[in-house]
Amino acid sequence: MRKVLCVIAVVAMLALGLSMFGQQGAPVPKDKPKVAQLLFKEDFKPGAEHEVQFTPDLLTNPSLELKKYGPGAKIGVKDQSGLLISNELDPATGKMQSLVWTGVVQAPWAVMLRDKSNLLDLRDTGKVRWRVRPRQFHELRLLIKLTDGTLLAADYAEPGSTYSRENEIFLSDVPRWRTLNPDTMAEAKPKAGAGIWSYDVDLSKVDEIGFSDLQAGAGHGALGGNTAVDWIEVYGQAAKRGVVSQSSVR
């Protein structure tokens, strides 16, 4: 009789526990990812001629500043050197497109965009969408510049394409980042005791965002290696600038 009573008591306790668990329901995640908002789009203005030097007045978005880094980003000579805006007919759509084009850059370069009022919080669902056309061995890489001046290149590259095409990148999917020297656009030497790759980058306060293929161009013509960017969109959360950053203009 005593054994029967013990069994009944155990069954009753289990039933009570299951009832309480059912009332509590499934646990609610504490940190729900924020839905990314469109922070800005840059589509680049067409120049007066087929190919013109890429200057700040050819940005379409008045809230943005153009930042250029590396020896290849310096103003060149007409359509023979430097970063250019190329006005071309897109065979894939039949429409004209104005492209940041790198066929005649003579050294590594970077194009960066800086929101005048906001830092960029690119955590969670933060992403970049762009329409790009890397050619031959030129692979376009996403770049970010942090508020401490660190310039980082993503260990992710857009492969070559005959025609301009759209793609998007969630920054949370970038496995690692490499620090660059903004003066040379080559890999920077790691600090003592640090590795060459950064795996835990703080994406909550990004000062600038942009792109590079880290190479010189291979000249005019469709068969030459170069990179072209039609437009870029950045999604995330805006973080108001408390103090204007002291990022240098090169």
**Whole-Å CA distances, 37 to 41, 46, 53, 236:** 12, 27, 32, 5
The rounded Cα 232 to chain-centroid distance in angstroms is 9
**3-class DSSP state for residue 51?**
strand
Q: Tens of pLDDT along 5-27? A: 444 444 445 454 445 544 454 45
pLDDT at site 30: 60
Facing residues of 53 across strands?
84
Facing residues of 100 across strands?
85, 229
pLDDT at site 13: 55
pLDDT at site 247: 38
pLDDT less than 50: residues of the chain: 4-12, 14, 16-18, 21-23, 25-26, 243-250
**3-class DSSP state for residue 121?**
strand
**Whole-Å CA distances, 17 to 3, 10, 21:** 21, 11, 6
Domains and CATH numbers, the chain: 37-240 (2.60.120.430)
Q: How far apart are CA 134 and CA 114, in angstroms?
A: 23
Look at residues 152, 169, 163 and name the one whose alpha carbon lies nearest to residue 233. 169
